[in-house]
Structure 1
Amino acid sequence: MQHESNQEFSTRVTPATATTPAIFETQPERTDLPLVVMPYVVPGMIAPFKQWFPMLQDVARLRMYEDYTLDPDEFMQRAADADAIMDISQHISNTMLEQLATHVKGIAFGGTGVASYIDIDRAHELGVRVCNTVHYGDHAVAEYAIAMMFELARRVGELDQQMRNNNWAGLDGMELYGKNLAIIGLGGIGKLVARMANGIGMHVYAWKSPTSKQDYAALNITPVEDMEQLVAQADVVSIHMPLLDSTRGIIPKQVIDAMRPGTLFINTARAQVIEPGALKARLLKGDIPAALDVYDQEPLPADSPLFNVPGLVLTPHVAWRSDGAYRELTKQVVEDIVSFYQGKPMNVMA
């Protein structure tokens, strides 16, 4: 069926009810086009996504459900007639993937760490193309890591609660100026954290750094080849390692144990880059203040012992969630879909 490409880009909105979310559709009359379904969306992404949807004109129809409940059964029901999916933070099990593969041929994932959410090898075996998004949130995550560093050092949240409880006692803090920061993983995010830490006046050390001496000098970073030695001399340790087959469990228990008591520990990367159980065991000792945005199991179970660790700051994997990151992420997700239907490679993982 031929269709005039200069026709107005049409949309349709089905209002929310007491039991169903609002549904936003593009080109709903174009039944000749494949259907792309976004079963869930982070509320803050709705407006940015709509900005980019005209790129789908004459390429694909879209159906976006405007809620964010991340229920696997609901996800599968909403994706039942999809040819492709835009996945915003839904963990897709192999059982789900195998069922989806009977009709879904492409998945555009709204994030960098897609390997934590989808079995890439299994998707490849099933003939499902998986795309991610890259470098969309480098500044957002770097700023969040620095914010966590300040929170651990100055305990602003705890002081706020003291004030609300009519307690003027206050708390002593740790000055970051002149302290040693150890960065594990010096990609786009790690480099930004290094620059910010330099601005604070910290001494920055890193493992897995750029290979040239010019890069080290430009970033004012001292490279340390031995990870255990790196953390042993640190006052603050921040993880910025992507999750790949080569990095899974790359930080062993002996490195976690090498941190001195009182070392501030921050992870806004992926929990799985640390040897299973190593960080939990150290945190339960209660001798290192830590801030975590990522976990082995997400959402973090309500009975997790981490909730009972004094001084531990926990946030629900939100370091990437900012206005700037939303703009770039949503654009890339839509571009991934367009490239998929045009037979072009973009951010292809499988």
Structure 2
Amino acid sequence: MPEQKVRIGFVGVGNMGQCAHLKNYANLDICQVVAIAEIREPLRRKVAARYGIPNTYPTHEEMLQNEALDGIVAAQPFGRYGILVPELLKAGVPVFTEKPLAASIEAGEKIVDAMRTSGTWHMVGYHKRSDLATMYAKTEIECLKASGELGKMTPPLEWDAPAPDMNDELRNQYNGFVNYYIHQINLMRYLLGEPYTVTYADPSGVLLAGQSENGIACTIEMSPYSTTIDWQESALVCFERGYIKIELPAPLASNRPGRVEILRDPGEADHFRTLWQSQGTVEFIRLDPSDQRNLGEIASHPAEIKRLACLSVPVTLECLQRFTGLEEATFQGSYGSSVSEGPIQEHIQQAGITVYNHPTEGFWGQTVAEYGLALTLCGLRRIPQLHRAILSSLVPWDYEAPNSMGRPGGRGHQFGDDSNFTSGTIAGKRVRIVGAGNISSRYASFVNMLGADVAVWDPYASEPCFHRAGSRKEWHLSELVKDAEIFAPMVPLLESTRGIVTAEHINALPKGCLVVLATRARICDMEAVRRRVLTDELSLAADVWDVEPLPLDDPLLGRHNVVHTPHNAGRTIDANRAWAEKLVVQFKPQ
């Protein structure tokens, strides 16, 4: 405890003066409230007795004339600050006031001028900035903005014309608004880290929208509902791949900090960071693909970095040469550069840098194969079509045969399949697969386990690839397609595989065959596939297409014999995490 306490004087000890300020200053060991100025004599006397304040005055002028103060707290209605604060600043000691700074721009400028003349400072009490939750969230926001780990902050709104000048009625409404909501106005400024302009204010007084000077959209929703149960106030700062949410306590709650919730996209980027932090010191750099800065423009102390992990960061020979102490690295998705060939690769070898890289496809195999199985089941059982149908009709619920009498070749009781195409169970079906690789071999093992007759064509695969998947090898693609009830071409799209399934192969598929596309559409002659699907000769269950995204007027969309999804078989949280884990484990533990 200091030998000499800070001497504080209060100007105004009304409701907020006592509840929000005086009771706290009176309990601090480092300061002493030595005087109060309060025009209401009974209140002045009772407050002084309650808090043991030795000196009281009816006006601030008298207090300033008689007291040697180190600081002044003036909790007043904000409309008085334009006159009061400049007079207090003449004492040459710091002044603390309630929010906001002033009731007008002119009054605010007068206060700022007086502060500059006095040589001291004026603190405005936006206490929500000092909540532990807000302080923690602010630190995290700045880190995320700097690292780009969760992408950019949310995009801007359109600009609307500014509001006209206020009349008397609007001025009264404005005063009420400022008194209650200036904390939220200021908190948004604090969390953004930059000024913003109001672009829209709803006449209901519930919604305010703004745009920061760097184009970040921001909104305030003011009391859309009320509750007697608890205080509900929150702030949400959004990024492209996550958010930070702050839940704040009631304004006069004592010793109750807020709460912070952080959502990070659980994909490979964040998982990379978490794993490497636990394993040892690794410099982690990630850019949005639209950011064209190279590695040398981002790293501030390249010579000090020993272990480096980059995501979507262009790498050049010149910038890599600056990393003189680099020992281990991974360069994933380094658009605009290649570290596996040419001068960069030569430098890596000469410098003795160990580089760990692997394709993501190796860790999407399971998720794509499972998705292929799901497409197959949906195509066989018409699951998406039935899901859509029962949203608008009860007819799909009635599976009674016509006149309650089944007929040969007709539909029986609760028979929901389409007998014009391969339907029913996977068990017993002739499943014919192109490829015996990472995805296709998994898919083959799935349908084999369910009882299908599985044959695979892959001229480059060894015998164990077929044996482990429970399939038999077919030596000729032209033979594979002849008896297919389910046809699943599942190879990566390379120059050597583009169009490997020709129109002749597609035309040879038996009528009613279900075609499953889960890897790349262009390995097939898609003109032939489209023609046969549109003439009801084949059914199709596809996640990949010849044109992506599919135009909304594409004739394949919504057909009774087509199951369609938007190319999302590979990207799952589990697959991304597996990719990160397999890559990180290659680094030597530190």
Q: Same fold (TM over 0.5)?
A: yes
Deviations 1:91-114 (A, max 9, x none): xxxxxx9xx97999896239xxxx
- In structure 1, runs of 5+ residues without a counterpart are 1-9, 25-41, 66-74, 89-96, 111-117, 340-350
Which residue is equivalent to 2:71? none
State how far apart, in whole Å, the 2-side matches of 1:126 and 1:281 are: 49
State how far apart, in whole Å, the 1-side matches of 2:525 and 2:343 are: 30
Letter in 1 for 2:144: V
Cα pair 1:109 1:131 within 8 Å, conserved: no
Post-superposition shift, 1:187? 0.8
Post-superposition shift, 1:335? 8.2
Post-superposition shift, 1:227? 1.0
Post-superposition shift, 1:188? 1.9
Which residue is equivalent to 1:306? 556
* Equivalent position to 1:109, from 305, 310, 333: 333
1:219 aligns with 2:469: yes
Which residue is equivalent to 2:311? 86
Which residue is equivalent to 1:16? 153
Letter in 2 for 1:161: R
* Equivalent position to 1:287, from 537, 540, 554: 537
- State the SS of the aligned residue for 2:366: helix
State how far apart, in whole Å, the 2-side matches of 1:189 and 1:132 are: 14
Residue correspondence of structure 1 range 71-150 to structure 2 within 5 A? 75-76=289-290, 78-82=291-295, 86-87=311-312, 108-109=332-333, 132-150=359-377
Which residue is equivalent to 1:234? 484
Cα pair 1:109 1:133 within 8 Å, conserved: no
Aligned-residue RMSD, C-alpha: 4.0
Letter in 2 for 1:51: T
Residue correspondence of structure 1 range 1-350 to structure 2 within 5 A? 12-14=143-145, 16-19=153-156, 22=239, 43-45=265-267, 47-54=270-277, 60-63=283-286, 75-76=289-290, 78-82=291-295, 86-87=311-312, 108-109=332-333, 132-165=359-392, 166-167=394-395, 168-169=397-398, 171-172=416-417, 173-208=423-458, 210-212=461-463, 216-275=466-525, 277-307=527-557, 309-331=559-581
Cα pair 2:316 2:337 within 8 Å, conserved: no
Cα pair 2:515 2:541 within 8 Å, conserved: yes
Which residue is equivalent to 1:92? none
Post-superposition shift, 1:17? 4.2
Cα pair 2:434 2:490 within 8 Å, conserved: yes
State how far apart, in whole Å, the 2-side matches of 1:119 and 1:57 are: 29
Flag the 1:104–1:287 CA change in 2: closer, same or farther, 3 A: farther
State how far apart, in whole Å, the 1-side matches of 2:281 and 2:552 are: 46
Cα pair 1:271 1:294 within 8 Å, conserved: yes
Post-superposition shift, 1:140? 0.9
Cα pair 1:87 1:108 within 8 Å, conserved: yes
TM-score (structure 1 length as normaliser): 0.66
Cα pair 2:506 2:525 within 8 Å, conserved: no
TM-score (structure 2 length as normaliser): 0.41
Moved more, 165-174 or 247-256: 165-174
Letter in 1 for 2:434: I
Deviations 1:70-110 (A, max 9, x none): xxxxx43x23355596359xxxxxxxx9xx97999896239
State how far apart, in whole Å, the 2-side matches of 1:190 and 1:57 are: 37
- State the SS of the aligned residue for 2:144: strand
- State the SS of the aligned residue for 2:515: strand
State how far apart, in whole Å, the 2-side matches of 1:44 and 1:331 are: 13
State how far apart, in whole Å, the 2-side matches of 1:234 and 1:256 are: 11
State how far apart, in whole Å, the 2-side matches of 1:327 and 1:119 are: 25
Flag the 1:252–1:242 CA change in 2: closer, same or farther, 3 A: same
Letter in 2 for 1:177: A
Cα pair 1:207 1:225 within 8 Å, conserved: yes
Cα pair 1:152 1:289 within 8 Å, conserved: yes
- In structure 2, runs of 5+ residues without a counterpart are 1-138, 146-151, 157-215, 217-237, 242-263, 297-308, 321-329, 346-354, 400-415, 418-422
Deviations 1:234-270 (A, max 9, x none): 1101121112222122111111111111101101111
Post-superposition shift, 1:191? 1.5
Greater RCO, 1 or 2 (C-alpha within 8 Å, sep 6+): 1
Structure number, greater radius of gyration: 2
Q: Work out the number of aligned pairs and report it.
A: 283
Which residue is equivalent to 2:301? none
Letter in 2 for 1:108: Q
Letter in 1 for 2:292: A
Post-superposition shift, 1:190? 1.5
State how far apart, in whole Å, the 2-side matches of 1:119 and 1:276 are: 31
State how far apart, in whole Å, the 2-side matches of 1:270 and 1:205 are: 20
Cα pair 1:101 1:126 within 8 Å, conserved: no
Post-superposition shift, 1:147? 0.6
Letter in 2 for 1:181: V
Cα pair 1:148 1:266 within 8 Å, conserved: yes
